[in-house]
Amino acid sequence: MTDNNATQPTRKVGPIRQWIKDHPNIWEFILFNLLSNISTITRFVVTWIGTAIFISGMGLTQPFHFLIFNYDTQGNGLGGFLTFLLAEVLAQVVNFFVQMKWVFKSDSSFKDAAWKYVILAVIIVVVNLVLPGYVTGLCQGWGMGAGIAGTIASVVNTLLAVIVSYPLLKFWVMPKSKGSKKATK
């Protein structure tokens, strides 16, 4: 019996695939940012829909203040809070599956990763619920409309989520096992 691989010519790797192979950590971070846009798109779409339903449609603009949450009328009140709550929860659910399966290709069990992600997501959601009331109020104080102010608040939330979540996802929530063939250099 002969080894078929011994007679096969060496397969040439293209320059992009070679770069990815040579720089797996950089590629992972790029992939993290690119694929995070799936949850970002979810966040924006739900923000726009929530603004249309809760603020424009239902007129839920009465001030909402609870513990650290401050959504006055310039922050779109209760409607703003509900909009950002729904947008953040759905974005985090989408992000969990995208990051675990496509970015980190984690071999962690769903059970082990899920409870850690819930902690991270709660932190992100709380921060992302606190900031929009202030950011939206500031933007509307500068004369921007509710839609633009909500979009800017979503951009701020997204940037903060990237800064906090990448290292925590990579090293705590979804680490590759030490024996994993896909472990990075």
pLDDT at 88 over 70: yes
Q: What is the mean pLDDT of residues 146-163?
A: 84
**Is 9 contained in some domain?**
no
Beta strands in the chain (DSSP E): 64-66, 69-71
**Is 181 contained in some domain?**
no
For residue 135, give every residue at least 6 positions away whose Cβ sits within 8 Å of its Cβ, in sequence order, or none. Answer: 149, 152, 153, 156
For residue 150, give every residue at least 6 positions away whose Cβ sits within 8 Å of its Cβ, in sequence order, or none. Answer: 47, 48, 51, 76, 80, 83, 132, 136
**Is 5 contained in some domain?**
no
pLDDT at 4 over 70: no
**Is 178 contained in some domain?**
no
Cross-strand bridge partners of residue 71: 64
User: Residue 160: its pLDDT value, please?
Assistant: 84
pLDDT at 86 over 90: yes
Give the C-alpha distances (Å, rounded to integers) separating 34 from 49, 60, 110: 23, 34, 23
Q: Are 161 and 128 in contact (CB under 8 A)?
A: yes
**Is 55 contained in some domain?**
yes
Question: Domain limits at 162?
Answer: 14-173
pLDDT at 174 over 60: yes
Token couple for 137: 């109020």
**Is 184 contained in some domain?**
no
User: Residue 113: its pLDDT value, please?
Assistant: 92
Q: Are 158 and 47 in contact (CB under 8 A)?
A: no
**Is 66 contained in some domain?**
yes
User: Residue 45: its pLDDT value, please?
Assistant: 95
CA distance 102 to 46: 23
pLDDT digits (tens, 9 = 90+) for 98-152: 999 899 988 888 899 999 999 998 887 788 778 888 888 899 899 999 889 888 9
Neighbours of 7 (CB within 10 A): 7
Reported as a pLDDT band with limits 50, 70 and 90, residue 159 is confident
**Is 137 contained in some domain?**
yes
**Total domain count, the chain:** 1
CA distance 82 to 87: 8
139, amino acid identity = C
CA distance 129 to 140: 17
Q: By mean pLDDT, which of 17-21, 67-71, 138-142 is the weakest?
A: 67-71
